[in-house]
Structure 1
């Protein structure tokens, strides 16, 4: 038995160190996938997060299983597991080092070889989602930023793009009305209204939005837009810096509102090419 113990220990160690089959490398970067199918939904984590964390925060794995798409969770860059994205004017390591995150996501889309690619993200990930809409519209079917700001100096996508914005009006990290963050994220941020104005211009939307209210959600929908696109803004009344319907991203973070943002985003995506 003593002779067998070293061999058994080696097998146990090998089993424990076996790589996760859902974790992939692309150059020096990593990303996770869950599910299968011709449609891919790229989910971008917030600043200081990572792919595994945003998967738990949003619940997109269960949604992918139920609806039959691939959920994809790329990791940002940083010196530790606390990763960020270069979204233009923000954030931290990725911004300071001039990381080419647009190029990374372009390469990731090519690697996925999907029929349709949608992008959503939270906070710093939402900021990159906006930027990708501006710079990779030829690769993306629609975008859905949550609790982020549009921080690039100009947005001139190659084509109109469906855009679904979700943001709490009590967000103190990325303020709804714009201005300096009261928590964590340094610098000043453009307002949600600014982002919506940019995208309604890009999509050549005409007329006033159609407004509806359901619980804590005030929804403004611009549907008279070019090429069948739509710009939708869901304002979470009293909502803080959180993924509605998800779980808090970290200890002490704002509590999510009672609204299933992940399901609503998927429904928007399916309406616009999913």
Structure 2
């Protein structure tokens, strides 16, 4: 099983650096100085619509919807990509399977870095929060780079950036527009929540790790499936902040207050949610401000449901 744990001296140093930058006072101050998150008026282009041709085979063997980039030579390749959004040059790392097939509809996994982190660290440190080793060559991975050390999402700028980069990827390579997923840790978890609040027309499910609603939660009629992970002894992003985010999606997805256990790691699933929009909560007693070793496996199992 892939884990999100330091396994070398470099990883240990990275862990120390990450935790050092995640002090709550500094974090909240950064949000305030950036103007915080919030709903946006989105004028960016929508992701490319699927072509009229028959869907191609997805990595799981099921029929998948083909993006505009399917069937043609790839216009993008593994490496750092640049795109203009809100008049700024923004970057993201794109990672294609080593045996990329232009006729195969791949799911897309977006990994969002923590405060003071980077797209480079998301892709190099344990491979997209442990998900890359689990997916192998059966998914396309994206690690966007935030502004001002994170994802304040001031005026909705980061939501527009996400829409723009997803559109560019769907037009440039073969993906399944019905299987776009977002996950992230800490500030990245907050941005995952913001995406879930506002981008249900583009993103199928989210998996915030130690997140909250501090990157904003715009109103939208579109809903997403969501799985949340949070430790009760988190002293950087309080457990109650994670519960607030969870409760928001429980209400948005019309779930009841009844839960049933799922899996073997203490996660519970809310009952009565809107069809295809489940909400799962993985609360655990210890671990502090850090995802547990089971986070990657639970996230993948959840994403694999769609």
What pairs with 1:142-221 in structure 2 (closer than 5 Å)? 142-151=205-214, 155-177=218-240, 191-211=241-261, 214=264, 217-221=265-269
CA distance in 2, matches of 1:154, 1:74: 19
Q: CA deviation at 1:38?
A: 2.0
Alignment: residue pair count: 210
TM-score by length of 2: 0.63
Q: Which residue does 1:77 correspond to in 2?
A: 147
Counterpart in the other structure of 2:132: 61
- 1:232: which partner in 2? 280
* Residue-by-residue CA offset, 1:40-93 (whole Å, 9 max, x unaligned): 000000110001112214233323325x00111011113xxxx31124xxxxxx
Residue 33 of structure 1 corresponds to which residue in structure 2?
Answer: 94
Matched, 1:137 2:221: no
Other structure's SS at 2:256 match = coil
Structure 1's unaligned 5+ residue stretches are 1-19, 88-94, 178-190, 246-258
Which structure 2 residue ranges, 5 or more long, are not aligned? 1-76, 98-104
Structure-2 separation of matches of 1:38 and 1:267: 16
Structure showing greater radius of gyration is: 1
Measured against aligned partners, the alpha-carbon deviations of 1:213-270 in whole angstroms (never above 9, x if no partner) come to: 84xx43121142112221101012212111322xxxxxxxxxxxxx2x1222111011
Residue 172 of structure 1 deviates from its aligned partner by 0.7
Cα distance in structure 2, aligned partners of 1:126 and 1:154:
12
Q: Tell me the alpha carbon deviations over residues 188-225 of structure 1, each in whole angstroms, 9 at most, x when there is no partner.
A: xxx222222111111011251113684xx431211421
CA 1:212–1:109: 2 relative to 1, 3 Å = closer
* TM-score under structure 1 length normalisation: 0.70
Q: Is the Cα–Cα contact under 8 Å of residues 133 and 143 in structure 1 kept in the other structure?
A: yes
Distance 2:228 2:287 in 1: 14
Deviates more, 1:104-113 or 1:224-233: 224-233
Answer whether contact 2:78 2:96 (CA < 8 A) is retained.
no
